[in-house]
Structure 1
């Protein structure tokens, strides 16, 4: 999930009132294809905690959060996060309660390879932790979908080589991937190489809002992405040549993108800008994997602006002919993450402003103030954009099997923690648009709702809550409490869709019935927790004071007798 810069224009409805959203006009009742896979997701750094336990090495996010300097809201860290490292069995029980078919989670590269380099040392305790998690999932008939890298690069690779700015990362990632295929591939049949690499590159190497916090404007993100794409391809080829015949698994990548809708559908410049938005967002990574090279619009725009800025070569790196052939076709499925939609309009940024990703795109992102605001500054509920993105990906990349890898809503600012009506409405709308996309012909195999638990949300700390289960982070045990959306999502999973109006409407009211009771339990347990904490502090303090007073009185008594 990522915040983005955008503009809210109160005159937007006047300009776009004629656009219409036919997808919103009618709700489609029906079921998903047999075998459709329902799941939830998480990532290692956001949930595990135990940041320096059992041989784990530091990650760039450990270094980033520990450095302070206002990089994370409230100076929060993920040192403990959800304590997921110590609560595997409990969290598997939550998955069983949700009735999901799969669980998407990531492996921590520095937990398995503390320095990031396989030749240095393999952490066997890390291997055992993930092996036990996979076994627990399979024992519960839950399919593991495993992400190799979800942003937590080993810190030593960043310090020694400059992280993804260095081409050597492709070899280190390949060694790491092969270790994972070797250790877990007998049981894991769905692999995701990278999760949302665009955000990793843009916010890590362009804006500096994410680890490693570099601001290499207009250059760093393109170089990082170039190496990530090549690392993905090398991992896919390793699996294809060494492991596929015996393990029979699939390897893909997960790319996040919002939908970009032309501000004025009758304005050719806005139509081009919306297409450009999608190519700079999704096409940046998908085009090389499915067509062998970057989108033409990226090559032309960045090349022209680079020349205008006095550079001899484009800031966008170039793939050789051999690399193009090597990268093309390296995905057994397309993973898509999606959260919201933007209206897009043309805006030309002069090259003299200097290089930047924003200037290269020559566009502005807008939101309609009538779109429901879910509390996070960047996230508006616009279900119809989801269907359009799915259909775009289907036609753009040659009818690939699609797995939705991330889709969800964060907690609103002022709401009862467990009665998440807005998340239920979001789920209902977005999942229904996905069902319509399947009806349109999109080859969608599964859906992962984000996320299982409230968790550490990067630069936002613990302020944004995406989980089906509320986590009390102020309690050292990090207890989990089900929100109303647990009951609602479970009904969708069990019914494999939306069978009929009466039944679907009943799900909503039944879900809300449970949340008021759970809220009372949460309030009571929170009070008990505070009382316990006070007791743990006050009682020893009082006892210590009593002992001191008794000692002083005894001393005076002995002196008086003498």
Structure 2
């Protein structure tokens, strides 16, 4: 008996090394290869999808104003109709259901719910009815509604009255707006996000001026009607964070939302040094991550800005009062991440101190290629993005290591196809690059969860439909469904639709009934037990193995471990599959 135990210890030690080196294709790669209750969904925003900008009591938002007042900055296009989700949501929800999606993340238009932006002026009943009908339709189709409070489109009236997010007044108006949302929709919506991508809002809206509200210093962009690129990004960001915290306070007080969760959504890229041999470029990567991620993540976890941001921005970075810090600390039940791409980062000298601006404060420059002229992902031009799926895994590990492994949801992930009018519809529908993009990112996500232990609980595809892509108008397509803008906005499936249908198929194609390996959960030390007519000495090995063995795979699996299947038996506990805990691999051999 002692000899057998000694042999088992030798084998377990050896197998531990072999198991962790199994090829990725030995893992299940469909929705069943992810943890139990992992959520797969798709995402959208009100302005990009709804249309109906002058219907149902809605007032103009800042993006309505921006696209109509400065049409040259949105390619002479607007979202007055967008993809007409306001009228077609029932049909679009059917598409989600056919894709086997679990959830739909959408935003509520502040301008539709509270046209003046102020609750004291009244809540728009038509707006309430629309969102309730949308939520009811989702629930009726088995799709979980996930609501975003702010996706860049507050009422223009608040901009006209006091400058929007440049004024502290907006914090209380956002608090009131949020309270209405929780009271009206909190009984059926359990997943909430407060602010979508505060980095993009503040930098593109107040430094470069590329997005609404289109403010920047005149010397940065002559098209900007006003602004200060050196101060306003920090001011607006500060008020966005405080608005987030105020909304969370209301959420946690509301009886209807007690069994829900709420968090902020950030949009980090991954960064690599322009020249990996350059100490300056490596330090620039740290600064890039601090501004892209830590700037807004530190406050909602620790209650204050990161020290690096304080050093870089100096007195232009507002400070929090003790009460504000307390309100911000631990104000996110989860962290939402929108991940799309990566960039190389090069250190640059300090800019002219007489012309401060956010993007030069950090003495770095984003670049598409590195010093060897290598770029991330395939060589073809996608108009906006390059694919770097490994960056998603690195971002998740950065968050895990720096912030004690918080709960994370991937709230957006997707790739565009630049449509300049020269491509045929068939070319656009044949979106094999999109299939590869999602497959590669999901594989890296699976590794981050299973091998690295990152606590990620959901993945949302951007997006179900082609839509209005902000300053790019309709010139770039992110949808898995093609929208024919010249033919009644007809939805036409791209090739990626079939891929997602198969990937998200709820049927377990490798069910336990198809396997030759029965499951035994052994938590005790190795022991002898009876299996059929053979006595088997059985033990367990902790490993990072995450796979399911079908009957025809068993012999190949044994061979891959270098063992003879007539000597040892390996049993995969399929009932443990898709568990966030480590899977146990059991081994046995006959006892003489």
- Is the TM value for this pair above 0.5? yes
Runs of at least 5 residues in structure 1 that lack an aligned partner in the other structure: 1-22, 304-313, 504-562
> For 2:42 and 2:26, how far apart are their aligned partners in 1?
23
State the alpha-carbon separation in 1 of the partners of residues 506 and 89 from structure 2. 27
1:269 to 261, 267, 280: 280
Q: What corresponds to 1:45 in structure 2?
A: 47
Whether the 8 Å CA contact 2:100–2:506 is kept in 1: the answer is: no
Q: Find the residue that maps to 2:316 and give its secondary structure.
A: coil
- Of residues 458-467 and 215-224 in structure 1, the stretch that sits farther from structure 2 once superposed is 215-224
- 1:383 matches 2:389: yes
Q: How does 1:151-550 map to 2 (within 5 A)?
A: 151-215=152-216, 216-243=228-255, 247-303=258-314, 314-352=315-353, 354-368=355-369, 369-370=374-375, 371-373=377-379, 375-413=381-419, 414=423, 416-439=427-450, 440-475=452-487, 477-494=488-505
1:210-246 per-position Cα deviation (integer Å, ceiling 9, x unaligned): 11111121111110000000010011011112336x6
Cα 1:205–1:350 shift into 2, 3 Å = closer
Please give the alpha-carbon distance, in whole angstroms, between the structure 1 residues aligned to 2:42 and 2:501. Answer: 11
Report Cα offsets for 1:89-131 as digits up to 9, x if no partner.
Answer: 1011011111011000000000000111111021101100000
Corresponding position of 1:125 = 126
Contact 1:251 1:331 in 2 (8 A): yes
Give 1:321 shift.
2.3
Query: Which deviations, in whole Å up to 9, do the C-alpha atoms of 1:372-421 show, x marking residues without a partner?
Result: 14643330011111110111112222211100001000014546121101
- CA spacing shift, 1:319–1:388, aligned 2, 3 Å: same
The separation in 1 between residues aligned to 2:39 and 2:209, in whole angstroms, is 36
Residue 402 of structure 1 contacts residue 445 of structure 1 at CA under 8 Å; is this kept in 2?
A: yes
Q: What is the SS of the residue equivalent to 1:352?
A: coil
| SS in structure 2 at match of 1:119 | helix
CA contact (8 A) 1:374 1:409 kept: no
Aligned residue in 1 for 2:531: none
Residue range with higher mean Cα deviation, 53-62 or 269-278? 269-278
Report the CA distance between 1:495 and its aligned residue.
Answer: 6.3
Aligned match of 1:83: 84
- Say which SS state the counterpart of residue 254 (structure 2) adopts: helix
Tell me the C-alpha RMSD between the 2 structures: 2.2
- Contact 1:32/1:496 (CA < 8 Å) preserved in 2? no
2:467–2:474 contact (8 Å) kept in structure 1: yes
> CA separation in 1, counterparts of 2:394 and 2:171?
34
- Within 2, Cα distance between the matches of 1:200 and 1:249? 26
Task: Check the 8 A contact 2:383/2:476 in 1, yes or no.
Answer: no
Question: 1:28 and 1:265, CA in 2 relative to 1: closer, same or farther beyond 3 A?
Answer: farther
Aligned to 1:29: 27
| CA gap 1:52/1:426 in 2 versus in 1, 3 angstroms | same
- SS of alignment partner, residue 480 of structure 1: strand
Q: Distance in 2 between matches of 1:76 and 1:199?
A: 21
Query: Closer, same or farther in 2 for the Cα pair 1:220/1:262, shift >3 Å?
Result: same
Structure 1 position 325, deviation (Å): 1.7
C-alpha deviations, 1:506-546, integer Å up to 9, x for none?
Answer: xxxxxxxxxxxxxxxxxxxxxxxxxxxxxxxxxxxxxxxxx
For 1:69 and 1:130, locate their aligned partners in 2 and report how far apart those are by CA, in whole Å.
29
What TM-score does the superposition give when structure 1 sets the normalisation length? 0.80
Aligned equivalents of 1:366, 1:212: Cα separation in 2: 26
C-alpha deviation, 1:501, in angstroms: 12
Distance 1:161 1:27 in 2: 57
Confirm or deny: 8 A CA contact 2:351 2:361 kept in the other structure: no
> Retained in 2: the 8 A contact 1:373–1:381?
no
Cα distance in 2 for partners of 1:29, 1:348 equals 47
SS at match of 1:213: coil
| Contact 2:57–2:112, Cα closer than 8 Å, also in 1 | yes
Partners of 1:296 and 1:377 in 2: how far apart? Answer: 35
**Aligned residue in 2 for 1:511:** none
1:258-313 Cα deviation digits (max 9, x unpaired): 1012234444322221111011011111110011111111100111xxxxxxxxxx
The alpha-carbon deviation at position 254 of structure 1 amounts to 0.7
Distance 2:26 2:297 in 1: 30
For structure 2, the residue ranges without an aligned partner over 5 or more in a row are 1-20, 217-227, 511-546, 551-592
65, 68, 90: which one aligns with 1:63: 65
Check the 8 A contact 2:71/2:78 in 1, yes or no. no
Q: SS at the partner of 1:144?
A: strand
TM-superposed deviation, 1:135? 0.4
User: SS state of the match for residue 410, structure 2?
Assistant: strand
Give a deviation string over 1:299-354, Cα, whole Å, max 9, x none: 00111xxxxxxxxxx11111122221221100011000010111222212234351
CA distance in 2: counterparts of 1:47 and 1:315, whole angstroms? 36
Distance 1:68 1:318 in 2: 34
1: distance between equivalents of 2:349 and 2:501? 47
Report how far residue 152 of structure 1 moved: 0.6
